[in-house]
């Protein structure tokens, strides 16, 4: 959208990220890192539950958000773990939940750019985008709507910020793997889990 003299106020849409290949690549890396973290959580739970990967995925698929999934993971882990191993698992899963929220914001956001901030992009929630587009379609003053929308953009990301989130996800994956091997080496037997948690 442009102002009254033709200067760009804000650009929003898939093309924004497509025109920023380093940023787009880091979003892709983040998606791959997250897939690995989710898989490592499933491996750990399948080991704890003494069940198949398919059963583990089926149990976790019953939950549709990070909070309910991580609560279920903790309940499943409580069947086998106790004491320090359970406390460690709960700490890791709390990190998993927080990173899941950050990852979801990035993966499901719509990206915008302001001319003054060329290297950084702004994440726009789909509901915010919808409100803006509806307001624009009913407004007699498009420039004011665009200026107001641009002034409210504050969820700014740099490539470095995305790299930090990817690093946090890699560390989470490594910690899940280490916790699983610690448990395997502890000699505590897995217990088969039945039902939904």
Which residues have C-beta within 8 Å of that of residue 192, sequence separation ≥ 6?
A: 49, 50, 51
**What's the mean pLDDT in 139-152?**
83
pLDDT of res. 163: 97
**What's the mean pLDDT in 144-151?**
84
**What's the mean pLDDT in 151-180?**
94
Classified as helix, coil or strand, 155 is coil
pLDDT of res. 145: 81
This prediction has a pTM of 0.83
DSSP string, 103-122: HHHHHH-EEEE-TT-SS-EE
**What's the mean pLDDT in 92-119?**
89
The band of 117, judged by pLDDT with boundaries at 50, 70 and 90, is low
Which range is least confidently modeled, 3-7, 34-38, 110-114?
3-7
User: Do 55 and 49 touch, CB atoms closer than 8 A?
Assistant: yes
Q: What is the DSSP letter of 18?
A: H
Classified as helix, coil or strand, 35 is helix
Task: Give the count of beta carbons closer than 10 Å to the beta carbon of residue 116.
Answer: 7
pLDDT of res. 59: 75
Alpha-carbon distance of 80 to 99, in angstroms, equals 25
| Of residues 188, 189, 122, 130, the one with CA closest to residue 161 | 122
User: Do 56 and 180 touch, CB atoms closer than 8 A?
Assistant: no
The percentage of the chain sitting over the pLDDT mark of 70, rounded to a whole number, equals 88
Alpha-carbon distance of 118 to 65, in angstroms, equals 33
């Amino acid at each position: 959208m442009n102002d009254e003299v033709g200067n760009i106020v804000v650009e929003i849409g898939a093309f924004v990220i497509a025109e920023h290949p380093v940023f787009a690549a880091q979003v892709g890396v983040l998606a791959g890192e997250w897939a690995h973290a989710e898989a490592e959580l499933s491996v750990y739970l399948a080991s704890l539950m003494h069940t198949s990967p398919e059963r583990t995925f089926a149990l976790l698929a019953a939950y549709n958000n990070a909070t309910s999934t991580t609560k279920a993971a903790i309940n499943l882990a409580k069947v086998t773990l106790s004491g320090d191993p359970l406390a460690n698992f709960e700490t890791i899963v709390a990190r998993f939940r927080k990173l899941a929220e950050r990852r979801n914001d990035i993966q499901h956001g719509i990206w915008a750019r302001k001319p003054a901030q060329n290297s950084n992009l702004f994440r726009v929630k789909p509901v915010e985008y919808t409100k803006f587009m509806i307001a624009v379609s009913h407004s007699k003053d498009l420039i004011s709507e665009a200026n107001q929308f641009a002034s409210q953009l504050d969820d700014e990301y740099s490539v470095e910020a995305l790299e930090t989130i990817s690093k946090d996800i890699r560390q989470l994956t490594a910690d899940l793997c280490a916790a699983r091997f610690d448990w395997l080496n502890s000699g505590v037997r897995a217990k088969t889990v039945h039902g939904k948690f």
